[in-house]
């Protein structure tokens, strides 16, 4: 029985990155022998065991054979005579098919180290096409490491798209990969990799339709709505690690991909479509409800931050209430971050001052200080108290806006 460190742990070590999880492959053993050594079986589809002390995963070397559509349609064969090279051959990418022996020796039968050095994502074998999740994974790796997909691998992905292999993806798995992609330093690389591979239209048609749609107003001749949204999600990634904000940034302009050209120049003419398409996307890939809720509201209200000094005090209060600013000020902060990312997602705006953010926060703070007690003391009751609080908040917002415009 021999054990080897495999997969992401070896890859990240070679890249000089922090290793979070370590996976091991065991060659020349059997389930009975593993359990005799104190390992705890946990695998359902293939033999995986937890180490009795470290609790790290140890999987028996195995081969896989496609038996049905989808990423679960495989027949797994694990036996003592399966070699390390055979086990590595079933992995998706060469950079993930490197093993390290106990003495530190690297086993790299598919030249993964070379591809790491050249920043290339390349499939190990033609069996890559058998698992549609790999399309999402390779795009995510492109975003995480800023690597390019090999030309021959792009050909395989185009074949998978044409064969409608991506149609068998489980919605929750699509969200899982998207969530991880949004957590990368430059999420736009995920979508651009999918677009280059011809898979964006199949996986995220709402995003794909944005490319080629003129951005109104035209800030830059090369920046269409698709490019703008890519810039926005990258700006969101710079502003916050919050996936909820990053997803809202992705969805904020989805309606522009299906809105008639004669409506686009009108302010907010695409909002209703953005709301509907965001809801459709969230339902299709099972986005968590809290994340969906913010994205839908940001799609409707993101321009209110840019136009703050043109808004009526009652409208400003409405935005604060819509984002539950009094009970959940962190929710209002998420709205501000997503809207700021939209502002900065255009050439030349990346580092411009945005005084509306601080003014909006001042409005919230002033409104938070308004309580019911003074109105109770004045003898008001029931709905009259709520109306008095509302009017007082509007007066305070009006005063703040007058002062902000004066300064």
CATH of the domain at 235: 1.10.3210
Q: What is the pLDDT of residue 223?
A: 82
Together in a domain, 154 and 182: yes
Identify whether 222 is part of a domain: yes
Together in a domain, 111 and 126: no
Round to whole Å and give the CA distance between 399 and 401. 5
Identify whether 362 is part of a domain: no
- Any idea what the CATH number is for the domain that residue 93 is in? 3.30.460.10
* CB neighbour class for 204 (10 Å; exposed up to 12, middle 13-18, buried from 19): buried
Together in a domain, 89 and 137: no
Together in a domain, 180 and 224: no
Together in a domain, 218 and 347: yes
Q: From its phi and psi, is residue 170 left (phi > 0), alpha (psi between -120 and 50) or beta?
A: beta
Identify whether 215 is part of a domain: yes
End-of-domain residue from the set 149, 177, 199: 199
The token duo for 91 is 């992995």
* Residues 297-314: tens digit of each pLDDT: 999 999 999 999 999 999
Round to whole Å and give the CA distance between 331 and 322. 10
* Token pair 């931050």 in the structure block, residue: 305
Helix, coil or strand: residue 26: strand
* CB neighbour class for 39 (10 Å; exposed up to 12, middle 13-18, buried from 19): buried
Round to whole Å and give the CA distance between 304 and 349. 17
Together in a domain, 211 and 87: no
Round to whole Å and give the CA distance between 386 and 330. 23
Round to whole Å and give the CA distance between 288 and 56. 29
Together in a domain, 164 and 89: no
β pairing state of 148-149 and 120-121: parallel
Together in a domain, 97 and 191: no
Identify whether 84 is part of a domain: yes
| CA-wise closest residue to 354 among 315, 404, 313 | 404
- Any idea what the CATH number is for the domain that residue 127 is in? 1.10.110.30
Q: Which domain holds residue 80?
A: 1-117
- In 132-253, where do the E strands start and end? 148-149
Identify whether 173 is part of a domain: yes
Q: What is the pLDDT of residue 379?
A: 82
Q: From its phi and psi, is residue 215 left (phi > 0), alpha (psi between -120 and 50) or beta?
A: beta
Round to whole Å and give the CA distance between 172 and 208. 20
Please list the pLDDT of the chain residue by residue as tens digits (407 residues). Answer: 899 999 999 999 999 999 988 999 999 998 899 899 999 998 776 789 999 999 999 999 988 776 565 555 567 787 888 899 999 998 999 999 999 999 999 999 999 999 999 999 999 999 999 899 999 999 999 999 999 999 999 999 999 999 999 999 999 999 999 999 999 999 999 999 999 999 999 999 999 999 998 876 666 667 899 999 999 999 999 999 999 999 999 999 999 988 665 555 554 567 888 999 999 999 999 999 999 999 999 999 999 999 999 999 999 999 999 999 999 999 999 999 999 999 999 998 999 999 999 999 999 999 999 988 888 888 888 889 999 999 999 999 999 999 998 88
Identify whether 363 is part of a domain: no
- Angle of CA points 305, 309, 311, to nearest 5°: 80
Identify whether 378 is part of a domain: yes
End-of-domain residue from the set 199, 220, 248: 199
Round to whole Å and give the CA distance between 22 and 12. 10
β pairing state of 23-27 and 57-60: parallel
Round to whole Å and give the CA distance between 295 and 353. 24
Together in a domain, 232 and 134: no
Going from the C-alpha of 178 to that of each of 74, 138, 190, 257, 398, the distances in angstroms are: 24, 12, 9, 20, 42
Together in a domain, 294 and 222: yes
Together in a domain, 257 and 175: no
Q: What is the pLDDT of residue 72?
A: 57
Identify whether 144 is part of a domain: yes
How many domains does the structure of the chain reveal?
4
End-of-domain residue from the set 148, 183, 199: 199
Together in a domain, 12 and 143: no
pTM to 2 decimals? 0.90
| CA-wise closest residue to 79 among 102, 66, 62 | 62
State the DSSP code for 147: P
Round to whole Å and give the CA distance between 15 and 376. 65
Q: What is the pLDDT of residue 218?
A: 62
- Evaluate whether 213 touches 257 at the Cβ level (below 8 Å): yes
- Evaluate whether 86 touches 56 at the Cβ level (below 8 Å): no
Start-to-end C-alpha separation, the chain: 75
- Evaluate whether 239 touches 230 at the Cβ level (below 8 Å): no
């Amino acid at each position: 029985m021999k054990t080897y460190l495999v997969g992401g742990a070896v890859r990240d070590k070679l890249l000089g990155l922090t290793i979070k999880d370590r996976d091991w492959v065991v060659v020349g053993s059997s389930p009975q022998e593993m359990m005799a050594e104190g390992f705890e079986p946990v695998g359902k589809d293939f033999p995986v065991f937890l180490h009795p002390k470290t609790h790290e995963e140890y999987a028996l070397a195995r081969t896989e054979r496609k038996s049905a559509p989808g990423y679960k349609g495989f027949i797994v064969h694990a036996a003592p005579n399966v070699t390390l090279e055979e086990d590595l051959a079933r992995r998706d990418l060469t950079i993930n098919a490197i093993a390290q022996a106990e003495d530190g020796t690297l086993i790299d039968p598919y030249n993964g180290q070379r591809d790491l050095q050249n920043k290339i994502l390349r499939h190990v074998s033609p069996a890559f096409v058998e698992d549609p999740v790999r399309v999402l994974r390779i795009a995510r790796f492109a975003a995480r490491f800023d690597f390019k997909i090999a030309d021959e691998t792009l050909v395989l992905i185009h074949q998978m798209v044409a064969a409608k292999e991506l149609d068998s993806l489980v919605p929750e798995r699509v969200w899982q990969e998207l969530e991880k992609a949004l957590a990368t330093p430059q999420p736009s690389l995920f979508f651009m990799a999918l677009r280059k591979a011809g898979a964006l239209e199949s996986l995220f048609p709402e995003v794909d339709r944005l490319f080629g749609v003129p951005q109104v107003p035209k800030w830059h001749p090369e920046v269409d709505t698709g490019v703008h949204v890519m810039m926005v999600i990258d700006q969101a990634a710079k502003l916050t690690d919050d996936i909820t904000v990053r997803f809202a940034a992705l969805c904020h302009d989805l309606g522009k991909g299906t809105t008639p050209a004669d409506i686009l120049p009108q302010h907010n003419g695409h909002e209703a479509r953005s709301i509907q398409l965001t809801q459709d996307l969230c339902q299709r890939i099972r986005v968590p409800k809290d994340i969906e809720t913010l994205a839908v509201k940001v799609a409707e209200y993101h321009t209110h931050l840019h136009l703050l000094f043109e808004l009526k005090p009652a409208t400003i209060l409405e935005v604060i209430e819509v984002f539950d600013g009094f009970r959940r000020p962190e929710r209002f902060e998420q709205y501000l971050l997503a809207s700021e990312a939209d502002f900065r997602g255009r050439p030349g705006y990346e580092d411009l001052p945005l005084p509306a953010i601080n003014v909006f926060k001042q409005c919230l703070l002033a409104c938070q200080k308004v309580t019911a007690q003074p109105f109770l003391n004045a003898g008001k009751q029931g709905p009259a108290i709520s109306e008095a609080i509302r009017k007082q908040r509007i007066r305070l917002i009006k005063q703040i806006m007058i002062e902000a415009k004066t300064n």
